[in-house]
Amino acid sequence: MKRKIIIDCDPGHDDMLAIMVAVANPDKLDLLGVTTVSGNQTIEKVTRNALEIINFLGVDVPVHMGAVSPLVRTVDIGKGKEIHGETGLGGYVLPKSKNEVASTDAVSFMYKAIMDSKEKVTLVPTGPLTNIALLLKVHPD
């Protein structure tokens, strides 16, 4: 049986690899969606990265924009920018995607996907856990 997953990420190199592994294993993984969170770069840049990665891989997977900043501190992309560069992908430039975000509410997407699924859904967070924290806070069930 395929495991249903949602990758919650701030697409830099590691997150791009996680998405690639999920897409490369369709017999084992059912990628329900990708949610983004500010971390390696701004939410706008990491969301654009997710859209471009999905487009580059040629798959139809929705991307949902999530948290713009951390819950208890101000956003600081300084270290992320040092490591991951101006775009978040260390200077690597993917072809521009015409795809748009499916929603700007990653938490609602995750909740609906989990609650609507007959099988368990595994969250695969590879970035800051802000979206996951919000999911648990807003939907403690």
Q: Collect all residues with Cβ–Cβ distance below 8 Å to 24 and sequence separation of at least 6.
A: none
Whole-number Å distance between alpha carbons of 28 and 26 = 5
DSSP conformational letter for 40: S
E strands, the chain, where? Answer: 3-9, 29-36, 63-65, 121-125
Q: What residues are labeled active site?
A: 10
**43 neighbors 68 (Cβ within 8 angstroms):** yes
Total length of the chain: 141
